[in-house]
Amino acid sequence: MYKISEIVQILHPSRTFITDLNSLVQQLFYDSRKIVQADNGIFFALQKNRDGHRYIKEAYDKGVRNFVLEIDEGQEIEFPDANLLWVDNSLSAMQELATFHRKKFEYPVIGITGSNGKTIVKEWLFQLMSSEYKIYRSPKSYNSQLGVALSLWGLSEQYTLAIIEAGISEKGEMIRLESMIKPTIGILTNIGVAHKAGFASKEEKIYEKIGLFKDAETMIFPNSYLENIQLPYRPRKFSWGFDEGLSLEVYSIKQVNDKLTRVTFYYNGRTFAIEIPFVDKGNVENAISCVAVMLRFGYDSEVIASRIRELQPVAMRLELKKGKKNSSIIDDSYSNDLDALQIALEFLNQQGQHPFKLLILSDIPGVGIHDEKSLSKLKRLLGEYRLDRLVLIGEVLPKLADQFDVASVSYPDTIAFLADIRSFSFENSTILLKGGREYHFERISKLLVAKSHDTVLEINLNALENNLNVYRQLLPKHVKLMTMVKAFSYGSGSFEVANLLQFNRVDYLTVAFADEGVDLRGGGITLPIVVMSPDESSFESIVQYNLEPEIYSFRILFAFLNFLKTRNISSFPIHIKVDTGMHRLGFMPGEIDRLIHVLHGDTVLQVKSVFSHLASAGNERDNEFTERQISLLEEFTKRLEDGIGYSFLRHIAATSGIELWPKGYFDMVRLGIGLYGIDVERHDLPIREASTLKTNVTQIKCLQASETVGYNRHGVLHRDSKIATIKIGYADGYDRRFGNGVGKMLVNGFLVPTIGDICMDMCMLDVTDIDVSEEDEVIVYPDIKLAAKSIGTIPYELLTSISQRVKRVYFYE
Ligand SMILES: *Cc1c(COP(=O)(O)O)cnc(C)c1O
């Protein structure tokens, strides 16, 4: 804890407004949504994707009384009992604070960087060295400018070793991370081709990365990546690789079976072998990095061998799945400690789809009866996140049950819980599963998750968030954002995606039909929801569920007016659609006078927005047409505004409009396909595909030339062939036109064609030329644009055709 007076000394703010010099600071906040308990917190208004200054009030209302601000607008008038510190840059200020805090600790700090494997090496070192050291490590993959500052803030006296990740994406970033982390030991995992955008050359990227080791005592690295590179002078070099004369020489790497790799080393005049329980190149490399670190720490090769043998895979994702009986399951098998628990509880807290929240928690190593500090942290966490119920599994936590502020039941082990699981009602609940590996919570998950066949659509929530922010950054501050979640969010889910958008504070959601809106309301969505194609039969639910209809013709306008009048409703929000050239739905520009006549003086309706849709924003040859659409909307809205005497929002741009037509932003834009990361016009935007359709191989057959595969015997074999049957067919949304080689899927890194006609629930792939086993994973659309093109359609159609029987799995990396 720091006193605010100390923080003032550390940060040298350009101006302060201090009302309580003794105010204590322990928690760093930068996101007002994540504040649950504000005690001893300080809020940094960062200028990230959104300007943090807009959320000071929200943080204040939640109880925060210490603030670091960049923009001086005399906020002391509005917050007369807060401590306010104005600085040049809030992020730098947070970093200075982290730097100061870091310097208080003398124990070794390991800094890890590299293109891949940082998190895995960090987690493995934790698994490998925890018996000797009390290890602090960066939570999850917190390795950015902000993430590192937050990570370092968690250092405390109770630890004896820290492991901190450092990740960069452009030149100049590592210097800042290095000066915060000041690692005593540096690890380079590898250098890949990822993230090359921010660097002029591979060399530049390498020099930037090894900048982390500038003042370290030792740097540990795979030699092959740093040949011909001038290494920083100071650190002792601990290199490993195949060449002679390296600190740790690798003699041989042999795959023993499909689960084990044997590596022989030469170190300090001795040879020894280690068996790594992984076979892929990346993980073998990661494990060797760990061997090197352990040697540097003086571990005996036999101890190293026995521990490496027991390495566990690192679960990097937190998954959200649909459960049975209207429940959702959050499956988080990421490390079992209090920091990870807090992150998972935050995620649970974001989920608004069900009324009840339940946590199933196993014992956490280090949280015990005699450890007051971590126990009180656990108590605080369980109290902060309003849980409805708690299931405790293990030997330690059940004994402490009466100290927690939640109704709980306890079981000595997972088996005992499973035996009793029928006595629970999980209906209408979001259930967080958080258990140590040895508790095998995957058994619980299997019972709770709704069954389905093995074809899944995986939706990467980080990618969705990323894409949202990419488009947000294109928009001037005053432009609002409507996001399209019609057609089951372009195939990727309903309330799961909507919840994420709501959490990220978009301004509006839009669906095609009232039913979709009703579902979203049932899933805890409170944002305004626009319904694009309402009909008379849906007016009842529109009113009941507080949805806002698009009004596109006089017929629907009068019908809705009459409906509202019979209910005595006034000022009901509507959105007027104008046809400026798309010629789908909408009032024609010539109908404006009559529209004004109807709406002028009317109190039953309130026009919230007036909008149109661009027909060809992505086609340069139609630029004039697009210009005309924009100016038609401009004229129409001007006249309507004059005619009805009040103002409303105007909008016309969808994804391609957002990318290419800033003059069409008006007051709001409507983001659709870009959010999901596909089929966009501009290629310079760092958006990512959010969904991946996956299935797996059910059976493999070896057949002779001239035999045929599938219905109608269309798949004729011209050579002896190996054929894989996979579990996806046209009933899943895999178009029949993909049959007979038109469709290509990715199996074990290779593209393979379909063979024969696509069946209803299955289809066949020609895997003659590749290595493949039954149950191997298959990526159905390795390139969804190309796939769409090959059957004469667009990615929108492929995505929205993926049938509802395909399970959606949401995850956070
Ligand atoms: C679907 C739709 C959008 C979104 O279009 P994208 O190309 O997916 O961004 C916007 N406005 C209207 C009226 C739509 O129907």
For residue 159, give the 3-state DSSP assignment: coil
- Quick one: pLDDT at residue 290? 98
Q: From the candidates 205, 322, 434, 486, give the one annotated as an active-site residue.
A: 486
Of 49-53, 707-711, 719-723, 730-734, which range is least confident?
49-53
Which residue has the least CA distance to atom 10 on ligand 1?
A: 654
3-state secondary structure of 629: helix
Say if residue 198's pLDDT is above 80. Answer: no
pLDDT at 193 over 70: no
Pocket lining for ligand 1, CB < 6 angstroms = 484, 486, 613, 654-655, 670-674
Question: Would you state the pLDDT for residue 203?
Answer: 86
Judge whether residue 725 has pLDDT over 80.
yes
CA of 208 to the centre of ligand 1 (A): 42
What's the confidence (pLDDT) of residue 195?
A: 46
Q: How far, in Å, is the centroid of ligand 1 from the Cα of 328?
A: 29
CB neighbours of residue 423 within 10 Å: 7
Pick the atom of ligand 1 nearest to 490's CA: 8
Atom of ligand 1 nearest to the CA of 658: 9
The residue nearest atom 1 of ligand 1, judged by CA position, is 672
Q: Percent helix, strand and coil across the chain, each rounded to 5?
A: 35, 25, 40
Per-residue confidence (pLDDT) for residue 343, from 0 to 100: 84
Q: How many C-alpha atoms does 789 have within 13 Å on its Cβ side? A: 5
Question: 532 CA to middle of ligand 1, Å?
Answer: 10
Question: E strand or H helix at 611, and its extent?
Answer: strand 605-611
pLDDT tens digits, 66-99? 999 999 999 999 999 999 999 999 999 999 999 9
> What tokens were used for 85?
């510190």
552 in active site? no
Structure pTM? 0.78
**Which protein residue has the closest C-alpha to ligand 1 atom 4?**
672
The mean pLDDT of 129-133, rounded to a whole number, is 94
pLDDT of amino acid 483: 97
Cα 412 to ligand 1 centroid, rounded to whole Å: 53
Q: What mean pLDDT is predicted for residues 149-164?
A: 96
CATH superfamily of 2-90: MurE/MurF, N-terminal domain (3.40.1390.10)
Summarised one tens digit per residue, pLDDT across range 285-302 is: 999 999 999 999 999 999
Q: What is the per-residue pLDDT across 531-580, written as a single tens digit (0 to 9) for each?
A: 999 999 999 999 999 999 999 999 999 999 999 999 999 999 999 999 99
For residue 661, give every residue at least 6 positions away whose Cβ sits within 8 Å of its Cβ, in sequence order, or none: 614, 617, 626, 630, 653
In this structure, the residue with its CA closest to atom 12 of ligand 1 is 613
Length of the chain: 813
Best substitution site from 480, 490, 580, 670 to test ligand 1's pocket, by max atoms within 8 Å of Cβ?
670
What is the distance in A from the centroid of ligand 1 to the CA of 671?
7
Choice between 640 and 443, residue whose per-residue pLDDT is larger? 640
Rounded mean pLDDT of 502-509?
A: 94
Fold of 318-451: Protein-Tyrosine Phosphatase; Chain A (3.90.190)
pLDDT above 70 covers what percent of the chain? 99
Q: Which of 57, 446, 711, 789 is catalytic?
A: 711
pLDDT of residue 34: 86
Ligand 1 atom closest to Cα of residue 613: 13
Structure-model confidence comparison of residues 95 and 374, the more confident one: 95
Rg (CA), the chain: 29
Using the mean position of ligand 1's atoms as its centre, give its distance from the Cα of residue 805 in Å: 25
pLDDT digits (tens, 9 = 90+) for 775-801: 889 999 999 999 999 999 999 999 999
- Residue 740 pLDDT > 60, yes or no? yes
Rank 42-56, 268-282, 720-734 by mean pLDDT and report only the highest: 720-734
CATH code for 691-812?
A: 2.40.37.10
Average the pLDDT over 425-444 and give the result. 90
Residue with CA closest to ligand 1 atom 6: 672
- Please determine whether the domains at 2-90 and 318-451 fall in the same fold group of CATH: no
- Determine the atom of ligand 1 nearest the C-alpha atom of 674: 9
The Å distance, Cα 733 to ligand 1 centre, comes to 22
> Which residue, judged by its Cα, is nearest atom 13 of ligand 1?
613
Rounded to an integer, what distance in angstroms lies between the CA atom of residue 401 and that of residue 328?
25
Distance of CA 473 from the midpoint of ligand 1 (Å)? 19
Query: Is the CB of residue 695 less than 8 Å from the CB of residue 745?
Result: no
- What is 458-676's CATH number? 3.20.20.10
Instruction: Look at 240-254, 360-374, 483-497 and tell me which has the smallest mean pLDDT.
Output: 360-374
More confident residue, 527 or 374: 527
User: Is residue 194 over pLDDT 60?
Assistant: no
The full DSSP string for 544-602 is HTT-EEEE-SHHHHHHHHHHHHHTT--SEEEEEEB-SS--SSSB-GGGHHHHHHHHTT-
Lookup result for tokens 């258990």: 435
Give, for ligand 1, the residue of 470, 510, 800 to mutate: max count of ligand atoms closer than 8 Å to Cβ: 510
Using the CB atoms, write b or e for 558-581: b if 16+ within 10 Å: ebbbebbeeeeeeebbbbbbbbbb
Query: For residues 232 and 391, which has the higher predicted lDDT (pLDDT)?
Result: 391
Pocket test for ligand 1, best of 484, 584, 650, 651 (most atoms within 8 A of CB): 484
| H/E segment holding residue 754 | strand 750-755
Residue 486 annotated to the active site: yes
Domain 105-308 annotated CATH 3.40.1190.10: yes
Could you tell me the distance, in angstroms and rounded to a whole number, from the CA of residue 676 to the centre of ligand 1? Answer: 12
Q: Which of 508, 613, 651, 669 to mutate to test the pocket of ligand 1 (most atoms within 8 A of CB)?
A: 613
Domain ranges, ordered by start, for the chain: 2-90, 105-308, 318-451, 458-676, 691-812
Whether residue 62 is predicted with pLDDT greater than 60 in this model: the reply is: yes
Q: Are 697 and 752 in contact (CB under 8 A)?
A: no
Mean pLDDT (the chain, rounded): 93
Residue 336 pLDDT greater than 80, yes or no:
no
